[in-house]
């Protein structure tokens, strides 16, 4: 099983892709998803500081077009295996 690791720029955020599981995490939070049948499905969000987890189901997102059409994340299919790559920091980007 090949493991890909890449550091992202949202603080000390780490992204891991292992087989069909995706994970984004830093010391405070984590998000897990899986790829099944060419679709990305949310699995769990976690508060690492308080050691709590929330099982996720449903859609990751919805896009509402100008004509009112709603496109759900499950309407999209992956055409290729997800690739993890570093993202350059954007100094002008707002942060909390």
Averaged pLDDT in 10-residue chunks for the chain of 96 residues: 32 50 90 84 94 92 95 86 81 80
pTM of model > 0.85: no
User: How many domains are contained in the chain?
Assistant: 1
Q: Determine, yes or no, domain membership for 91.
A: no
Q: Determine, yes or no, domain membership for 86.
A: no
Q: Determine, yes or no, domain membership for 15.
A: yes
Full domain range(s) for residue 49: 3-75
Q: How far apart are CA 24 and CA 60, in angstroms?
A: 14
Q: Determine, yes or no, domain membership for 23.
A: yes
Q: How far apart are CA 26 and CA 47, in angstroms?
A: 10
Per-residue pLDDT at 31: 92
Q: Determine, yes or no, domain membership for 93.
A: no
């Amino acid at each position: 099983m090949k493991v890909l690791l890449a550091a992202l720029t949202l603080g000390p955020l780490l992204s891991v892709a292992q087989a069909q599981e995706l994970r984004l995490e830093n010391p405070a939070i984590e998000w897990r998803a899986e790829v099944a049948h060419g679709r990305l499905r949310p699995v769990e969000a976690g508060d690492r500081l308080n050691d709590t987890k929330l099982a996720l189901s449903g859609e990751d997102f919805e896009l509402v077009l100008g004509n009112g059409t709603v496109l759900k994340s499950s309407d999209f299919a992956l055409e290729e295996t997800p690739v993890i790559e570093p993202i350059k920091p954007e100094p002008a980007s707002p942060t909390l």
